Amino acid sequence: MPESSRTTCCIVGGGPAGVMAGYLFARSGVRVTVLEKHKDFFRDFRGDTVHPSTLQVFYELGLLQQFLKIPHQELRSISLKFGADLFKVADFSHLPTQCKFVALMPQWDLLNFLTEQCKQFHGFDLRMEHEATGLLYSNDRVTGVEVKTPSGNVLISADLVMGCDGRHSIIRQAAHMEVTELGVPVDVLWFRISRKNDDPEASLGNINYGKALVLQSQ
Ligand SMILES: Cc1cc2nc3c(=O)[nH]c(=O)nc-3n(C[C@H](O)[C@H](O)[C@H](O)COP(=O)(O)OP(=O)(O)OC[C@H]3O[C@@H](n4cnc5c(N)ncnc54)[C@H](O)[C@@H]3O)c2cc1C
């Protein structure tokens, strides 16, 4: 028999959506279990920009000061090069937010920070290496999640199940929700190269020959 446990809210997926939802539930005193299939958050190419609106949320939650202690770079404007001409296309200094910059920081630092903050709430339970494989139903009502772990299968029943498991969501599939395809207008090739001392500080977009190249320095 698989082991079973019970929680109030079970969130599948420990990405930004799942961890932030977990934080907000736990902060409100709701017992919450977040399931993440990987054993850590160290995955590359997940995006490095933390936008002023996100920083504003951290400010409103009282987390900003501590968050900004994590090593990061502050991007206060963005320039784009169209052919040979350079234009400033974004200037964050006018934003009505606490931070007038984009923070450049790997997503795993953000997730490690948030999960550390979650630990102060005793109703918060993060389970790494817990991969949801399906939903539990009672008649046509979702009552929990089936989970695969390195030490065997687990059934977690919950009053509320949230699918935050990304673009290939197993929860969405198990709930028979249909995806509306909107098309992808751009294909992105994302890679890392070493940085020279005289490379530009700000993210620099080069648009030419019908293609765009964005440099994001770290
Ligand atoms: C190349 C690239 C660059 C990007 N750049 C930026 C950027 O600079 N700034 C920015 O703000 N955004 C950026 N984004 C977008 C950003 O990464 C996403 O918006 C964000 O990660 C979505 O968060 P999420 O929590 O919804 O999903 P995800 O980040 O996809 O998280 C889903 C989580 O669920 C886990 N999971 C999946 N299936 C299961 C399962 N069955 N059981 C348990 N866990 C499961 C996954 O391991 C993952 O941790 C970028 C995205 C890409 C691909």
Domains and CATH numbers, the chain: 3-48+106-179 (3.50.50.60)
Check residue 215 and give its pLDDT: 77
pLDDT tens-digit series, residues 94-139: 999 999 999 999 999 999 999 999 999 999 999 999 999 999 999 9
- C-alpha span between 166 and 134 (Å, rounded): 15
Report the DSSP pairing between strands 3-12 and 204-208.
Answer: unpaired
Cα 80 from chain centroid (whole Å): 26
| Total-model pTM | 0.91
Ligand 1 nearest atom to the CA of residue 131, by list position: 42
**Res 202: pLDDT:** 56
Atom of ligand 1 nearest to the CA of 51: 11
* Percent of the chain whose predicted confidence (pLDDT) is above 90: 70
154 - beta bridge partners?
A: 3, 147
**What's the pLDDT band for 203 if we cut at 50, 70, 90?**
low
Residue 199: CB atoms within 10 A of its CB come to 11
Q: For 41-53, how does the pLDDT look when each residue is reduced to its tens digit (9 = 90+)? A: 997 777 789 999 9
Average pLDDT, the chain: 92
To test the ligand 1 pocket, which listed residue (20, 37, 53, 125) has its Cβ within 8 A of the most ligand atoms? 37
